[in-house]
Amino acid sequence: MERYPHLKQTDYEIYDLIRLQTLYESTTLKMIASESYVSFSVLEACGSILTNKYAEGNVGARYYEGNELVDKIETLAIDRAKQLFHAEHANVQPYSGSPANHAVYRALLKTGDKLMGMPVPSGGHLTHGWKVNFSGLDYVQIPYSPDPETGKFDMDQIRQTAKKERPKMIWVGATAYPHKIEYKDFAEIAEEINAYLVADIAHINALIIAGVHPDPVPYCDIVSSTSHKMLRGPRAGFLLSKVEDRFQSTYCPEHKLNLAQRIDRAVFPGLQGGPHLHIIAGMATAFHEAMMPEFKNYGVQIVKNAKKLAELLLAKGYRLAGGGTDTHLLILDFRNEQFTGKEAAKALAKSGIIANFNMVPGDPRSPFVTSGVRLGTQSLTAMGMNETDMEKVADWIHRVCRNITRIDEESPNIRQEIADFCSQFQIPGIYPYRPITRHVPIK
């Protein structure tokens, strides 16, 4: 069966680039910790006729006619999100994770207010108050970071900082923190200082669904997430929250709106116009798939694979930030090596292992080169890999890292071995229409 037959006829250049990207993704180990594979069902929903429809507004209150069926689609997405995460309220309109986080600020804070968040070099996200982002330009970040030696949060130090600075909001979430986050501990600190607690679970939502990571919903005022990454939905954001605001009389006495209403107003009309209905449909489909028993098995296996890979790499003499992992990601620590994280990431990619260079706690190198490489196991798990397969992955990583100075000689062999290995698996959204299994060099 020919894929994209109409695109092939009308715009062969784009068709061919998509075809080559499909080949690339089906013959490499996708280990970017923020990527995964969506199903054919999600792809179909996102490519549907819903891309034609404008539905500015919210369910039951649109500014355009003809949205009776669209309302049902968005309602399904909302109800499924609430059911999946046991939340009181959900908004599925944010275009992605950063706009969702922007809406949190607009709903909770005023310009110039203090917030606590992890700086990007410590493993936080741009929108958690980093200085070059709107969140650091419009608000005042009070930073907290993992301990440089242990790689874990020092809750006593975080409490001391919070009590001294008294921010109005605490972000808890990360892009490069390999350990479990105890939301209950952060909630106790937030309660002490009368601060909102907001969790960003974009990286770990599937682990929460699977019950292998603590659940933030009972402890947080708002939970922000994306539907891509390990949830395996389209590129979009969503927000979960309580309905009532426990600080409304303290911070917002003039407001007649509850917390859920303020979030909805912050998204629309505060930050966005018409929602992307084709993406919301894809999100609803991803939520539905995440309710299936096999999805929980997938979440459990992600952690098993990450722990096994960490164990194998430690046995080969590698250092890992934080000493290992409790989640889907691990960070190779090359502070004691002559080569940088960027050089290692490029060598891995040349060999068919797609990862990203990343800072480690206490990194002495520039963020433009770093001393670390971040690896994730969710995409490999989505392909059907288990702990036994991690032995091959660890061996390939080792072969690359010990041959960085002669990687041009070594990488073609590893690249072909990986391509052959990937052909054994049924890759979501690619199989069974994968036209070839041999790799295609990127020119």
Q: Rounded to the nearest 5 degrees, what angle is found at the Cα of 28, between the Cα atoms of 335 and 439?
A: 130
- Give me the numbers of helices (H) and strands (E) for the chain, helices first please: 17, 15
Mean pLDDT of 338-342: 97
Is 356 in the same domain as 375?
yes
Flag whether 8 is in a domain.
no
Is 307 in the same domain as 159?
no
Is 34 in the same domain as 66?
no
- pLDDT tens by residue, 18-61: 999 999 999 999 999 999 999 999 999 999 999 999 999 999 99
| Residues forming the active site | 54, 56, 200, 226, 229, 235
Mean pLDDT of 241-265: 82
| Domain assignment of residue 237, given as a range | 45-290
Is 250 in the same domain as 387?
no
Is 306 in the same domain as 385?
yes
Helix (H, G, I), strand (E, B) or coil at 249: helix
Flag whether 55 is in a domain.
yes
- Is residue 435 predicted with pLDDT exceeding 70? no
CA distance 266 to 272: 9
Flag whether 438 is in a domain.
no
Q: Give the pLDDT band of residue 253 (cuts 50, 70, 90).
A: low
Is 162 in the same domain as 202?
yes
Flag whether 443 is in a domain.
no
373 strand-pairing partners: 332, 357
Is 242 in the same domain as 334?
no
CA distance 120 to 175: 8
- pLDDT tens by residue, 385-429: 999 999 999 999 999 999 999 999 999 999 999 999 999 999 999
Is 193 in the same domain as 91?
yes
- Is residue 145 predicted with pLDDT exceeding 90? yes
pLDDT at position 114 is: 97
Question: How many folded domains does the chain comprise?
Answer: 2
- Is residue 238 predicted with pLDDT exceeding 90? yes
Is 199 in the same domain as 125?
yes
CA distance 105 to 97: 13
Q: What are 185's two structure tokens?
A: 């501990």
In contact, 249 and 196? CB cutoff 8 Å: no
Closest CA to 164 of 138, 139, 192: 192
Closest CA to 72 of 289, 292, 287, 281: 281
Is 158 in the same domain as 177?
yes
Which CATH number do you get for residue 364? 3.90.1150.10
- pLDDT tens by residue, 72-122: 999 999 999 999 999 999 999 999 999 999 999 999 999 999 999 999 988
Distance (Å) of CA 182 to CA 200, 240, 320: 13, 18, 21
Flag whether 330 is in a domain.
yes
Is 159 in the same domain as 242?
yes
Which CATH number do you get for residue 243? 3.40.640.10
Is 268 in the same domain as 332?
no
- Is residue 441 predicted with pLDDT exceeding 60? no
- pLDDT tens by residue, 302-329: 999 999 999 999 999 999 999 999 999 9
Flag whether 3 is in a domain.
no
pLDDT at position 73 is: 98
Flag whether 187 is in a domain.
yes
Flag whether 436 is in a domain.
no
* pTM score: 0.93
DSSP 54-80: ---EETTEESSS--HHHHHHHHHHHHH
What are the DSSP E strand ranges found in 301-434? Answer: 319-320, 329-333, 353-354, 356-358, 372-376
List strands edge to edge, sheet with 319-320: 319-320, 329-333, 372-376, 356-358
Residues 6+ apart with CB under 8 A from 140: 112, 113, 114, 115, 129
Question: Residue with structure tokens 């919301």?
Answer: 280
pLDDT at position 249 is: 58
Instruction: Name the percent of the chain in helix, strand, coil, to the closest 5.
Output: 45, 10, 40
Question: Which of 244, 265, 290 is the last residue in one of the domains?
Answer: 290
329-333 and 114-117: which strand pairing? unpaired
DSSP 121-178: GGT--GGGT-TTSHHHHSSEEEE----TTT-S--HHHHHHHHHHH--SEEEEE-SS--
333 strand-pairing partners: 319, 372
